[in-house]
């Protein structure tokens, strides 16, 4: 703890928190200035005080502002012809974040000629005087000349009775647009059968409703659906079981929230509120069809995402539109498939991919002239994809016959041939996913015009056989000779570099890395921060080259961080061998790990290569590696992203922690990416959400979650049925039956003492209060058997406090021993620190 707690006051050594805004001062001024102006601001609009131009109303506690708002189009070159919308946004955070907009078909182009006012019919309306048009209305029946509007600290704009503010006719909170705030309802009106829907913005610059929507089941069951185009369901919450939605077990960890589901004769709705009102939290329907819960983290001045559904972006129906393909491992995750390009480029630029792609060159049968396009269409092979929807079975008993079947139908866009036979796609291709491993994986043969797939051999002959054939041949021979000479020199140089460098880091040239990776041919993995490729140095050393995408830090900082990472060496850390920095091209070169990641070794398959002894060795080695990062090296390094993907295994399954130091290297991008990519969130400590400074104990939490997965052999979230595994593990531990937690593939073949120790350590690691989590040094000692460990309490955030019948049973069974254990926990952690000699406060 000692070295790491003061991170926040010492930005250079604070990897996780380095995103602290350097430009805070000017922003702070702006806020102050804003507040002074707003002192005279009011929170109401009445019949004599319309809102126009730059005027705003502010909630009494200065939490929310309502006014005209123009979405920033920062990431586009498209003409930013100012479009204005009436919107509500948070007043005291530096990132302007809207929570509600008055959805209009036509935006306002000049707010000074528009007004948001109480009309004589009593409704709140948006008028465009220039066009003499009513653009929006609350549209409720009220008595004329009797109402006014007020903005509340809850973020709601209410239409109320002018003489009695407790009579509310309309609340924006119950008519959400893309944001579901605490206290809001998303209801089913049983009288009318109408549901309230949460729609995403169409794109990042246009608040009008997009294709996706979240709504309660109109048939009256207690579950929410996310739909595409108001018709196709691609996600369901499962039904409300009195405590949580059955398919959202993560809700049991939502200890900052109160949940409620109301169902009676007139309405059904779910609502959530914050236990602590000072925490800002919002659920949004994202432009790309995921619902996301964001929380404001004061210490880093950022929104942090800690929950989203569907879990991965590519599960969203038709998210990349027709002829688009989704790849969960790249950013952006949508691309057009080969031979196709974006239908509307400007939409894609604004992150709206739903428009999809169009064919570049028509097929042979689609063109009229037979002389021009004489060549028959060809097929492009896409292996390892999720096959698109709407396949049609066709005649054909071999791949060749299937190809002919496809060619004979002008509408056929693609075919596949698998053990169930021949299938063709006469309709548009939707829901294609690349680098896919789940159900419905296959190889797609995509039909393209011949010109899209030029035959390299033929084109070469054509040139040689041409008029200048002779000359060309000479030139080519010359070029080949030069090329080989150049290659040889280059190889020599690389060799020299790697030999002279010794223990220090090698500064590679980009061209050298291109060469040793065979132009980035063999991809080992992709991730949020860039892709990793296999390479081989001239002396046959295998390497892994990580190409960092979207790197925005300066050159000096890059070199400083890289040199820190390079000097951080330990048997349980992946070693950095070198780097490349040429302009925006930043690459890191690591030693190659033949057995891949723990993720790859642990989860898949019916059988497992990882025996209990190996698993224990991995757990212990990882703890030692992390301990080195936390305590033994000169600057404390918090990893921030401990998960099975980042634990690599060498030939004999010795674990090596990878990607350490990237948090600091990538700064603000890191935590953005960290919290938005799949696979990471299950490991994040609660303090990422609650906003307290991140310490090394955040890594301990992630380690604990990972250790539970090492024990069970399954992802914590994947245990299906009803229980969230960590919760289950903590309670089973108390019942003493640890063998039931063990990976069934091991068939009980594990040392009972080791298993118990590992389970106890894991449960201590995932405690909410970071001071009760052990240090990585203590973890290593416990696993080594040098320290004894007490029974851990059930983590508060993971238990359903008092609400779940199971939890009630559990607590009442153990209520007497519970208190003693909690007391013991304090004592035990003190004992630990005394024994291990580490400094605990
Ligand atoms: C409207 O509000 C303003 C300022 O809040 C106040 O001065 C005025 O009397 C109000 N008008 C009516 C009709 O309530
Ligand atoms: C307003 O309400 C009327 C009837 O109550 C309805 O016909 C009309 O479509 C509504 N307009 C909007 C914009 O909702
Ligand atoms: C409402 O107020 C307007 C102007 O203040 C007035 O012209 C109108 O007659 C009033 N309507 C009713 C129903 O009182
Ligand atoms: C305001 O309305 C509420 C609810 O209709 C009522 O209980 C209360 O007596 C009213 N207050 C006044 C001052 O009229
Ligand atoms: C349901 O809709 C009807 C008609 O619009 C309305 O009168 C009623 O108040 C609504 N019910 C609820 C619970 O909002
Ligand atoms: C509602 O019920 C009808 C009839 O049982 C069914 O066809 C429809 O799919 C259901 N809708 C949803 C959203 O489940
Ligand atoms: C959405 O559905 C409507 C019919 O309900 C259809 O007209 C429209 O084309 C669909 N949109 C897309 C993008 O397919
Ligand atoms: C249904 O529940 C809502 C909210 O609790 C309440 O306002 C309403 O009166 C209830 N309706 C019936 C018929 O019980
Ligand atoms: C083919 O010819 C028809 C009629 O001559 C014409 O309408 C069509 O646009 C042509 N199609 C192409 C792709 O040239
Ligand atoms: C073969 O491909 C079709 C079309 O996508 C699919 O429906 C079917 O399940 C596949 N069969 C096997 C055995 O993968």
Residue bearing the bigger pLDDT, 820 or 444: 444
Ramachandran category for residue 411: left, alpha or beta (phi over 0 → left; psi -120 to 50 → alpha): alpha
688: three-class secondary structure by DSSP:
helix
Residue with tokens 């102050």: 32
Report which protein residue has its CA nearest ligand 8's atom 8. 266
| Structure tokens, 107 | 């935006």
Q: Is 145 in the pocket of ligand 3 (CB under 6 A)?
A: yes
Q: For residue 334, what pLDDT is reported?
A: 92
Greatest mean pLDDT range, 151-165, 386-400, 442-456, 460-474:
151-165
CB-side neighbour CA atoms (13 Å) of 684? 24
Q: Is 113 in the pocket of ligand 1 (CB under 6 A)?
A: no
Percent of the chain with pLDDT over 90: 45
pLDDT at residue 329 above 90?
no
- pLDDT tier at 483 (50, 70, 90 boundaries)? low
pLDDT at residue 478 above 50?
yes
pLDDT at residue 281 above 60?
yes
666: three-class secondary structure by DSSP:
helix
Q: Which range (284-288, 327-331, 332-336) has the least confidence?
A: 327-331
pLDDT at residue 26 above 70?
no
Q: Is the pTM of this model over 0.85?
A: no
- What tens digit of pLDDT does each residue of 411-435 get? 999 999 998 999 999 989 999 999 8
Residue bearing the bigger pLDDT, 594 or 487: 594
Q: Is 611 in the pocket of ligand 3 (CB under 6 A)?
A: no
Q: For residue 365, what pLDDT is reported?
A: 82
Q: How far is CA 275 from the centre of its chain?
A: 26
How far away, in angstroms, is 440 Cα from ligand 10 center? 6
What number is the average pLDDT over the span 264-272? 94
Ranges of H-type helices in 677-775: 687-690, 696-712, 725-735, 752-765
Q: Can you tell me the distance from the alpha carbon of 725 to that of 304, in angstroms, rounded to the nearest whole number?
A: 24
Domain 598-835 has CATH 1.10.510.10: yes
Residue bearing the bigger pLDDT, 38 or 389: 389
- What tens digit of pLDDT does each residue of 780-810 get? 999 998 888 888 877 765 543 223 323 222 2
pLDDT at residue 686 above 80?
no
Greatest mean pLDDT range, 255-259, 446-450, 767-771:
446-450
Q: Can you tell me the distance from the alpha carbon of 534 to that of 544, in angstroms, rounded to the nearest whole number?
A: 5
* Ligand 3 atom, smallest distance to 120 CA: 1
* Ligand 1 atom, smallest distance to 162 CA: 14
- What tens digit of pLDDT does each residue of 163-201 get? 998 999 999 999 999 999 999 999 999 999 999 999 999
Ligand nearest to the CA of 168: 4
Q: Is 277 in the pocket of ligand 3 (CB under 6 A)?
A: no
Residue with tokens 């058997």: 785
What number is the average pLDDT over the span 148-155? 95
- pLDDT tier at 725 (50, 70, 90 boundaries)? confident
* Ligand 6 atom, smallest distance to 217 CA: 13
Report which protein residue has its CA nearest ligand 10's atom 2. 418
- Among 329, 421, 323, 320, smallest CA distance to 380 is for 323
Residue 167 Cα distances to 160, 183, 187, angstroms: 6, 18, 20
Q: How far is CA 492 from the centre of its chain?
A: 43
Q: For residue 341, what pLDDT is reported?
A: 95
Strand partners, 282: 294
Q: Please give the full DSSP string across 223-253, using - where no structure is assigned.
A: -EEEEETTTEEEEE---B-SSSBTT-GGGGG
Q: Can you tell me the distance from the alpha carbon of 5 to that of 3, in angstroms, rounded to the nearest whole number?
A: 6
CATH superfamily of 503-591: Phosphorylase Kinase; domain 1 (3.30.200.20)
Ligand nearest to the CA of 136: 2
Domain ranges of the chain: 42-175, 183-310, 324-366+375-452, 503-591, 598-835
What number is the average pLDDT over the span 94-111? 89
Q: How far is CA 149 from the centre of its chain?
A: 38
How far away, in angstroms, is 219 Cα from ligand 6 center? 6
Computed over every residue of the chain, the mean pLDDT equals: 79
Q: For residue 339, what pLDDT is reported?
A: 93
Q: For residue 834, what pLDDT is reported?
A: 30
How far away, in angstroms, is 125 Cα from ligand 5 center? 21
- pLDDT tier at 639 (50, 70, 90 boundaries)? confident
Report which protein residue has its CA nearest ligand 9's atom 1. 368
| Structure tokens, 147 | 């109402």
Residues 292, 286 contacting (CB under 8 angstroms): yes
Q: For residue 38, what pLDDT is reported?
A: 42
Strand partners, 380: 446
Residue bearing the bigger pLDDT, 581 or 476: 581
- What tens digit of pLDDT does each residue of 499-528 get? 334 457 888 999 999 999 999 989 888 766
How far away, in angstroms, is 193 Cα from ligand 5 center? 10
Ligand nearest to the CA of 187: 5
Strand partners, 233: 227
How far away, in angstroms, is 218 Cα from ligand 6 center? 8
Q: For residue 75, what pLDDT is reported?
A: 37
**Beta-carbon count within 10 A of 753 CB:** 9
| Structure tokens, 29 | 């001024």
Q: Which residues are the active-site residues?
A: 641
Residue 519 Cα distances to 453, 536, 545, 581, 584, angstroms: 21, 12, 11, 17, 18
* Ligand 9 atom, smallest distance to 368 CA: 1
Architecture (CATH level 2) of domain 42-175: Orthogonal Prism (2.90)
Q: For residue 550, what pLDDT is reported?
A: 64
Phi, psi angle pair for 649, to nearest 5°:
-125, 130
Ligand 6 pocket, residues with Cβ under 6 angstroms = 217-219
Give CB contacts under 8 A, 24+ apart, made by 580-585: 580/507, 580/508, 580/509, 580/510, 580/512, 580/513, 581/507, 581/555, 582/509, 582/510, 584/551, 585/510, 585/547
Strand partners, 335: 325
| 189, 190, 220, 265, best to mutate for ligand 5 pocket (most atoms within 8 Å of CB) | 189
Residues 123, 135 contacting (CB under 8 angstroms): no
Q: For residue 370, what pLDDT is reported?
A: 58
Q: Is 48 in the pocket of ligand 9 (CB under 6 A)?
A: no
Q: Can you tell me the distance from the alpha carbon of 675 to that of 300, in angstroms, rounded to the nearest whole number?
A: 13
The dihedral through the CA atoms of 488, 489, 492, 498 has a sign that is negative
**546 belongs to an annotated ligand binding site:** yes
pLDDT at residue 90 above 90?
yes
Q: Is 191 in the pocket of ligand 5 (CB under 6 A)?
A: yes
- Among 808, 620, 600, smallest CA distance to 703 is for 620
Contacts of 335 (CB under 8 A, 6+ apart): 320, 324, 325, 327
Residue bearing the bigger pLDDT, 198 or 362: 198
Q: Which range (84-88, 338-342, 687-691, 756-760) has the least confidence?
A: 687-691
Residue 341 Cα distances to 190, 323, 411, 450, angstroms: 45, 9, 19, 17
Residue bearing the bigger pLDDT, 239 or 368: 239
Instruction: For strands 98-101 and 85-90, give the pairing.
Output: antiparallel
How far away, in angstroms, is 783 Cα from ligand 4 center? 66
What number is the average pLDDT over the span 527-548? 86
The H or E element containing residue 606 is none
Residue bearing the bigger pLDDT, 284 or 678: 284
């Amino acid at each position: 703890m000692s070295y790491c707690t003061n991170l926040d006051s010492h930005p250079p050594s604070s990897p996780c928190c380095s995103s602290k805004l350097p430009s805070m001062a000017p922003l702070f001024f702006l806020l102050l200035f804003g507040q002074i102006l707003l002192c005279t601001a009011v929170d109401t609009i009445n019949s004599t005080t319309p809102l126009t131009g730059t005027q705003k109303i502010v909630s009494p506690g200065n939490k929310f502002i309502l006014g005209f708002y123009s979405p920033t189009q920062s990431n586009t070159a498209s003409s930013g012809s100012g479009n204005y919308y009436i919107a509500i946004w948070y007043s005291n955070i530096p990132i302007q974040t809207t929570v509600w907009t008055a959805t209009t078909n036509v935006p306002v182009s000049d707010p000074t000629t528009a007004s948001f006012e109480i009309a004589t019919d009593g409704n709140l309306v948006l008028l465009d005087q220039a066009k003499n048009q009513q653009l929006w209305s609350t549209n409720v029946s009220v008595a004329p000349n009797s109402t006014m509007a007020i903005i509340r600290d809850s973020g709601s704009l209410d239409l109320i009775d002018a003489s009695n503010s407790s009579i509310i006719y309309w609340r924006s909170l119950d008519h959400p647009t893309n944001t579901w705030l605490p206290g809001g309802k998303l209801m089913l009106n049983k009288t009318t059968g109408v549901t309230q829907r949460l729609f995403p913005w169409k794109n990042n610059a246009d608040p009008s409703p997009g294709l996706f929507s979240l709504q309660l089941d109109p048939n009256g069951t207690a579950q929410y659906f996310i739909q595409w185009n108001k018709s196709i369901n691609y996600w369901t919450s499962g039904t409300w079981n009195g405590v949580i939605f059955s398919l959202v077990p993560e809700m049991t960890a939502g200890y900052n929230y109160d949940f409620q589901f109301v169902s009676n004769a007139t309405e059904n709705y779910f609502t959530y509120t914050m236990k602590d009102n000072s925490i800002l939290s919002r659920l949004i329907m994202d432009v790309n069809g995921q619902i996301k819960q964001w929380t404001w983290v004061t210490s880093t001045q950022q929104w942090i995402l800690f929950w989203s559904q569907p879990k991965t972006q590519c599960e969203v129906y038709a998210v990349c539109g027709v002829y688009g393909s989704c790849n969960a491992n790249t950013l952006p995750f949508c691309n057009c498939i080969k031979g196709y390009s974006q239908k509307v480029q400007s939409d894609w630029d604004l992150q709206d991919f739903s428009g999809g792609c169009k064919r570049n060159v028509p097929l042979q049968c689609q063109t009229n002239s037979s002389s021009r396009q004489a060549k028959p269409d060809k097929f492009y092979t896409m292996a390892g994809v999720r096959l698109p929807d709407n396949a049609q079975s066709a005649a054909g008993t071999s791949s060749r016959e299937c190809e002919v079947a496809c060619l004979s139908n002008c509408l056929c866009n693609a075919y596949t041939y698998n053990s169930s036979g021949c299938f063709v796609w006469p309709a548009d291709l939707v829901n294609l996913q690349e680098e896919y491993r789940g159900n419905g994986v296959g190889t797609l043969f995509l039909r393209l015009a011949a010109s899209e797939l030029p035959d390299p051999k033929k084109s070469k002959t054509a040139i040689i056989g041409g008029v200048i054939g002779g000359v060309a041949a000479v030139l080519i021979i010359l070029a080949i000779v030069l090329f080989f000479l150049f290659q040889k020199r280059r190889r020599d140089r690389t060799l020299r570099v790697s030999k002279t460098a010794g223990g220090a880091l090698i500064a590679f040239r980009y061209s050298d890395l291109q060469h040793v990776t065979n132009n980035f041919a063999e991809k080992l993995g992709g991730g949020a921060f860039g892709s990793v490729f296999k390479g081989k140095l001239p002396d046959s050393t295998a390497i892994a080259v990580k190409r960092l995408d979207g790197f925005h830090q300066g050159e000096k900082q890059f070199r400083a961080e890289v040199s820190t990472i390079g000097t951080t060496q330990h048997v349980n850390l992946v070693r950095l061998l070198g780097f490349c920095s040429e302009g925006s091209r930043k690459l890191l070169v690591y030693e190659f790990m033949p057995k891949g990641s723990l993720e790859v070794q642990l989860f898949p398959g019916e059988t497992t290569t990882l025996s209990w002894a190996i698993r224990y060795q991995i757990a212990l080695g990882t703890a030692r590696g992390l301990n080195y990062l936390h305590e033994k090296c000169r600057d404390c390094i918090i990893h921030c992203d401990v998960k099975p993907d980042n634990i690599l295994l060498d030939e004999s399954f010795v674990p090596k922690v990878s990607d350490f130091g990237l948090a600091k290297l990538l700064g603000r991008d890191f935590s953005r990416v960290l919290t938005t990519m799949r696979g990471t969130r299950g490991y994040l400590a609660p303090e990422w959400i609650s906003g307290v400074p991140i310490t090394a104990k955040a890594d301990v939490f992630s380690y604990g979650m990972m250790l539970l997965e090492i024990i069970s052999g399954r992802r914590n979230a994947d245990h299906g049925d009803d229980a969230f595994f960590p919760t289950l593990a903590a309670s089973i531990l108390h019942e003493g039956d640890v063998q039931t937690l063990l990976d069934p593939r091991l068939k009980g073949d594990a040392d009972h003492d080791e298993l118990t120790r590992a389970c106890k350590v894991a449960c201590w690691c995932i405690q909410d209060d970071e001071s009760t989590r052990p240090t990585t040094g203590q973890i290593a000692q416990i696993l080594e058997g040098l320290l004894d460990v007490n029974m851990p309490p059930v983590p508060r955030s993971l238990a359903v406090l008092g609400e779940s019948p199971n939890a009630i049973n559990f607590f009442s069974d153990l209520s007497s021993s519970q208190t003693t254990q909690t007391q013991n926990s304090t004592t035990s952690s003190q004992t630990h620190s005394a024994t291990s000699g580490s400094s605990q406060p």
